[in-house]
A and B are shown apart, each in its own frame.
Chain A
Amino acid sequence: MAKKLGKKARKFAKKNLQSVLKRRRKLKSTFKRRAPPRRVGQGDGSQEDEKMKAEQNIEENAEAVSLGGSASVDYLENLFGGDDEDLDEDVSESDGYLSEDPDCPYISESERENDSSEESGQKDLTRKNKEIVLELVEQKKKLDSLIEKEPDFSSFLEKCRHDMEISRREELYSDEEDDTSFPDGVGDTDNKVLTSPTIDVWCWLVKEEPNGPALRNLLSGFQFACRYGIDSDEVMAGRIQSREVFSKILMFLLCEADGIFRRMLGISDSLSKVNLLKVKNKPEWKTASPLIKSYLRSSLYLLNQVTDNQILNFVLSQLRASVVFFSAFPSIARRLIKISVHLWATGDQSLSSSSFLIIHDIASQSPSDYVDMCLTKTYKSFIASSKFVDDTNLKHIDFLVNSLVELYSLEIEKSYERALTSLQQLASILRQAYKTKKKEELRKIHNWQYINCLKLWVKFITCNFRDNDFQQLIVCLIQVITAVAHLFHGPRYLPLRLKCVQMLNELSLSCGVFIPIASLLFDSLDYRELSSMNEASGIRMNFPSLLKVPKQLLKSQEFQTECILSVVELLSAHFGQWSYHISFPELATIPLILLKRFYAKTSIEGLRRPVKRLIDQVEQNRDFIQRKRDEVSFSPNDQQSVESFLQFEKSGSNASFTQYYASILQSSRARNTVGLK
């Protein structure tokens, strides 16, 4: 395989890079000498050597950059003197290796870059580096003078260093995981620095001929780039000297790799999990799989390494295309899930959504054990990250809920069991709280994790109710929610209660069951008018991000207004749902009486107006239904007729109450966005 790659590379080289070939011939003999002992799984030893070599290399470069190369030679020799012979021998087997253009002036180039592109943010670090270098020079001079004075000292020093080096190395590599070792054949390394033209050529080659050896090299370069800065693997780091190369490699591979692999394997863009098995049996798979593995693994390194949201976002969105390949490598897939779940839970909006897409694709395109893993991991990190809710992360929580629902909707049967288990857990917490009424037990419920968990299941049911029979789940969920609402009464906990009512409304709407919520809201209508109305405190209350009202705001006018507006909103949602039901007049009877009483008692115009509007609308609708009802002749026990009652009117959405509810919703949304600002 390597030979094949090599041939093609040679062809290209003959054509394009005559000077390179010359140099290569010179080196070839040494390569071969070193090659035989290097086998699969011996990564450790070679890495060690590579590391040494790289260190020296970089040292050389750096010294050249900063000191002009003169003062440091002695020192370097002192440091790595023993390894000198190894340097040339330590090259890996790679027939198709393309060495860099020797004419390219690296050192000066990188220096120039350094100076020209210094930005304010990085100036600090660069300046510090310079300071350190200055000190280094000074210290070195001192050392040199010492050595000059006492020549024996240098050998003593040498010995000490050697000892320390050995002990350090042992420490470093004794616990290194196998996992990080290179995949077979791809980890070919050299001490040659990659240059921008080289990369261009490689890219061109790869595009021309995907099966060529250039891809291999590019991937190894990609690997260096991705691992750049991760650990002390200086070899890889040393091979990339310019940021242009760095970005070029990354961009090219991230954008093109998936397409290249697909072309290599001869598969179309859409590949399902069933097809993957077929692909695995293809002969091409053998060639491609190490390359794919390397690519995927490297990209994960990159994901771990990078902190910038845009880069992460870009990487994720490019990786998404190759999700199907991940399932071929379980350990990598697990890591991908881990990383993306983390990013999903903690990232910003776009990053979170691209991570979600990855998770979703893994869950939907891969074997089902990945689904389990995705569900567990996402659920856990959702719970962990929903501990605190405020104005800023409300949207994010909503997003998390939605994406979890997406994932759980993939395999309803599994999710159903999970939902039931989770609900039973919630119910048992609640039971305990009802039994003891202890503060700490109550606190377990009166927190965002509990509420968000409820929210999740409500959403799950509302999204999947149409296709499934969730009867048991629904009853259990409704019981838990109503119990929570009843457990915390009193005006302080009103926001929590309103949330419960809202969830009940959602459930009721999507499942078509009747849930009496009116009594949960009556309390708010009973609140006496504040005797000494506090002046507007200026603090706007945002109910969505509250569970409990701060004590000092309990008597504020804002709170009361918010209360009434929320009650109006929730009641109108409740009425809106049943506005065409034949028993709407009865449903509205008691709430109407109480609303009217409230209206008569309040003197605050800001509260009177919305209440009055609701009363008018409800009465209007009630009269409408009553009129229609008088025309029919069936009785309540004639369920079919009851169901068909006013179905025609219902389908046309221009009824006044529907419009009214829409306007209420709109104004409440406007209120909340104002509150956020």
Chain B
Amino acid sequence: MRSRHVTRVADYEDDGLEALYEKRNRKAALLKAQEEELQVDPADALPIKTLDGKLQYRIAKKRRSEEKNDDIECASGDKDDDIVRLTKAERREKLKKSKKEAKKLAKQENELDIHAGKLHAEVLEKVQEELSAEEIFAGKKMKLAEIGMALLEDPESNIRSLKELLNICNDKDRNIVKLALMSLLAVFKDIIPGYRIRSPTEKELAMTVSKQVKKMRFYEYTLLSSYKAYLLKLLKLEKQSFFHQVAVRCMCTLLDAVPHFNFRESLLASIVKNISSSDDVIRKLCCDTIKSLFTNEGKHGGQATLEAVRLIADHVKLNDCQLHPDSINVFLSLKFDEDLGKSKRMEDDDKVKKKKRWQNQEGSKQLKGNDKKKSRQELMAKTREEVDADFKAVSFSLDAVEQRRMQSETLSAVFETYFRILKYSMDPSASRPKINAASLAGGVGPHPLLASCLDGLGKFSHLIDLDFMGDLMGCLKKLAGFSEQHQDSGASDQSSLSVTERLQCCIVAFRVMRSNLDALNVDLQDYFVQLYNLILEYRPDRDQGQVLAEALKTMLWEGRQHNMHRAAAFIKRLASFSLSFGSAEAMAALVTLKHLLQKNSKCRNLLENDAGGGSLSGLVVKYQPEATDPNLSGALASVLWELSLLMNHYNPSISSMAVSISSMANLNPDQNPVSLYAASPLQAFVDFSIERELLKPVGKPLSLNQKRKRENREGFSAFSPDQIQLVGSFINEDRVKKKLEDHFKLLRDIRENERFRSELNCTKWSIDLYEEYERQRK
């Protein structure tokens, strides 16, 4: 069984090895998956328990429970029940082939053993002389397995073996190194304690301690030093392309499993470095690890989060914002507990004072809540306190103050990153020299991070510090209108933001404003102007319609329009918009439009042909469709004639929507109509998107409704009569006759040709037959 494995490995060429390795990994995962199921069976319990997804145990297990292994082998392909026979044959073949190799390997082995200075080294040495290469490999694997097993069974007494394992990592055989790395990973994952090891101070060392403590100290020391050596090894190997993925995988797994343990910083640094890797697998691995770090803060008490965020911030800074968006998207999985420490606030007033910005915000929040809410909150806080106390007893969570400090620092790091990206996007000169860096990021555009940055700002808008608010709004305003100015000047520049990004800027600005309504009183007029003009810039396939719909939702559908002129301008523009764009966009626009009409009863004048728009028209008497400022468009003077064309729309939902909107004219100003389609613009957009429309069942064809039976079947519908009459005039009988004669002649010639040929063949055949005849006669 053992040798079989070796054969398989030796079989593969270098590049094949990696595939094999992966296959094994998968197998290991499979085993792991089976673990639970297997554990149930007491007979198998022992070997399987030791497995724990570790390679050496898999091998060990292989030895012990071949049967199970064979099952897995079968699944993996080429081996079957008659493996043993096959293997023998293979082995014989290999034996010849790899004699040379065997010697070399044996030598290595010798070196290694001398290094290790083990007791059984001499014995091994002798034995290895006789072993073939694959057996050496198998032996190494066995050794790995045995050491690992021993370590897991009794870590304290076998802790020295870690060194041995580490030595194997220096093996010349790359596959053995990989296996060793994985084994170590498994071992460390298992034996690393749930606390951070602090190396004893000199004073402590000087003190006489019990044997127990000594042993413990030695254990911890060995563990720590091996772990450090292992990490160093990983960091070194990570730079080699062959080991890159394994090393990163090991580091990610370690960070995920033991984020609390020593040397986390170096792990983190290395992972963050790879977070924007061009290799999709590695990037995903790193991002997932970071995300799980963020979501499972209980494991490390939040410190790792802070470190990670800071590292990412530095990373972004170093790379001039030219990274893959994924590296910023991890921030979205950050969780900020707003209630954190709120209950403590009363007691630790002085401490809270330090965090003025928090207080400001939370204070405002607090004020909003009414008494009922307050009492509920208190109740909640009380229960939470109890739970926290329990939780603290079992876990090593820090106290709330410390946590809040960390959280605020994390936040500031996050926002620092975001602002850096914003600033960077605003600087038109900055993005150009970094073309190669941009291409590295996957060709997302000149501002790869902007979109996810805006996403993040939108998400955490309620946490933004008021001090930054003004700057932020300024930034967003500039960004939203940035390329507008450029377009006006006619320059075609690469750095201008896309329509989607600009819309996102507007959305974020609104989100920020909305979540800080009481604290700020900034006029959002500029953003409305932006949106008003951006609607024209929208191109269905280039820009994301969802963002537009979201912008309509955030800026127009939610909230209330106080400015009647503006509302009217948007109503008019949206109506015109829906005349030019597809169903999804039109529906989103119409939903918004209807909502605006409902909210602004005076705008319903637009539905009626009231000469001159009456007294409402204000400054501008005549509608100016090309005006860039909604306030100056004079839309109140217009009539929504669009609706009458929209009633002819091919899509029945849109035409009925248009009908329902136009019927709003008959309502009283205060009366609100029953909503036909109550979804938000975003929902409407999704509902009427092309994909969705195509999915709609066509249903059984209704029996055709014939408006009138066609009486005259003589005429043609698709052809014009002369097109058909043309046919007859082409035929000239004389020519046809001539052609027929030619045709005949040709046929006759062909026929004669055939006949002559066959006759010729026949004659030749007869002559040939003569020979046979002669022979027969004799």
Contact = CB atoms under 8 A, between A and B. Distances in A.
The yes or no verdict on A and B being binding partners is yes
Interface of A: 58-59, 62, 75, 79, 117, 119, 122, 125-126, 128-129, 132-133, 135-136, 139-140, 142-143, 146, 150, 152-153, 156-157, 160-161, 228-229, 237, 240, 243-244, 246-247, 250-251, 255, 306, 308, 310-311, 313-314, 317, 350, 353-354, 357, 364, 401-403, 405-406, 409-410, 412-413, 416-417, 420, 423-424, 427, 430-431, 434-435, 459, 463-464, 466-470, 472, 474-476, 478-480, 482-483, 486-487, 489-490, 507-508, 511-516, 518-520, 522-523, 526, 528-529, 578, 581-583, 585-587, 589-591, 593-594, 601, 629-630, 632-637, 639, 642
Contact of A586 (B641, B709, B728, B770): B641
Nearest to B638: A586
Given A467-B708, A486-B541, A402 B650 contact: no
A19 B649 CA distance: 86
Interface of B: 490, 492, 536, 539-542, 575-583, 585-586, 607-609, 611, 625-626, 639-652, 659, 662-663, 665-666, 690-691, 693-695, 698-699, 701-710, 713, 716-719, 723-724, 726-728, 730-733, 735-737, 739-753, 755-757, 759-760, 762-764, 766-767, 769-770, 773, 776-777
Contacts of B736: 251, 310-311, 314
Given A136-B760, A311-B740, A157 B641 contact: no
Contacts of A463: 717-718
A308 B579 contact: no
Contact of B582 (A464, A511, A516, A639): A516
A241 B643 CA distance: 80
Nearest to A601: B490
B770 A468 contact: no
B728 A317 contact: yes
B737 A251 contact: yes
A66 to B, nearest CB: 8
Contacts of A136: 756, 759-760, 763
Contact of B580 (A62, A157, A431, A591): A591
Contacts, number: 317
Contact of B760 (A139, A589, A591, A637): A139
Contact of B745 (A133, A243, A459): A243
A147 to B, nearest CB: 9
A468 B746 CA distance: 53
Contacts of A464: 717
A636 B640 contact: yes
Contacts of A406: 716-719
Contacts of A475: 650-652
Q: Among B740, B742, B757, which residue has the most Cβ atoms of chain A within 10 A? A: B740
A504 to B, nearest CB: 9
Given A250-B740, A635-B665, A353 B726 contact: yes
B607 A122 contact: no
B707 A247 contact: no
A79 B758 CA distance: 13
Given A128-B753, A129-B756, 15 more contacts: A122-B749, A136-B756, A139-B763, A140-B763, A229-B750, A310-B730, A401-B718, A405-B717, A464-B717, A469-B707, A475-B652, A482-B583, A523-B541, A633-B611, A636-B665
A-B interface, 4 closest residue pairs, ranked by CB to CB distance from nearest: A489-B541, A229-B747, A469-B705, A637-B662
Given A125-B749, A139-B767, A247-B741, A523 B707 contact: no
Given A229-B751, A313-B731, A512-B648, A420 B690 contact: no
A470 B763 CA distance: 72
Contacts of A472: 698-699, 701-702
A590 B706 contact: no
B737 A633 contact: no
B671 to A, nearest CB: 16
Contact of A357 (B647, B717, B727): B727
A586 B642 contact: yes
A53 B647 CA distance: 81
A123 B607 CA distance: 85
Q: Among A129, A228, A523, A601, which residue has the most Cβ atoms of chain B within 10 A? A: A129
**Binding site secondary structure of chain B:** helix
Nearest to A244: B741
B704 A474 contact: no
B580 to A, nearest CB: 4
B647 A639 contact: yes
A636 B690 contact: no
Q: Among A243, A427, A486, A489, which residue has the most Cβ atoms of chain B within 10 A? A: A243
B717 A482 contact: no
Contacts of A405: 717-718
Given A136-B759, A364-B713, A406-B719, A486 B607 contact: no
A586 B701 CA distance: 36
Given A146-B770, A482-B582, A311 B701 contact: no
B760 A519 contact: no
Given A353-B727, A472-B702, A150 B773 contact: yes
Contacts of B694: 427, 430-431, 434, 479-480, 483
B542 A489 contact: yes
A623 B755 CA distance: 84
A474 B745 contact: no
Contacts of A140: 763
Contacts of A255: 733
Nearest to B606: A636
Given A314-B736, A467-B708, A582-B641, A350 B766 contact: no
B740 A251 contact: yes
Contacts of A125: 746, 749-750, 753
Contacts of A129: 749, 752-753, 756
B542 A523 contact: yes
Nearest to B581: A519
Contacts of A59: 755, 759
Contact of A466 (B662, B665, B707): B707
A132 B757 contact: yes
Contact of B718 (A143, A424, A459, A637): A459
Contact of B579 (A420, A430, A587): A587
A125 B357 CA distance: 104
A56 to B, nearest CB: 12
Contacts of B665: 635-637
Given A403-B718, A523-B541, A635-B607, A586 B698 contact: no
Nearest to B625: A589
Contact of B609 (A353, A508, A529, A636): A636
B610 to A, nearest CB: 8
B741 A243 contact: yes
A416 B652 CA distance: 20
Contacts of A142: 767
Contacts of A156: 769, 773, 776
14 contacts: A128-B753, A150-B773, A229-B750, A255-B733, A310-B730, A459-B718, A467-B710, A468-B706, A472-B702, A486-B690, A519-B581, A581-B645, A586-B641, A633-B609
Nearest to A352: B727
B704 A416 contact: yes
Contacts of A520: 540
A590 B577 contact: yes
Contacts of B773: 150, 152-153, 156-157
B645 A417 contact: no
A472 B700 CA distance: 10
A311 B743 contact: yes
A586 B743 contact: no
Contacts of A427: 694, 698
A76 to B, nearest CB: 10
A310 B647 CA distance: 54
A514 B646 contact: yes
Nearest to A318: B731
A229 B727 CA distance: 29
A582 B639 CA distance: 11
A377 B713 CA distance: 22
B767 A146 contact: yes
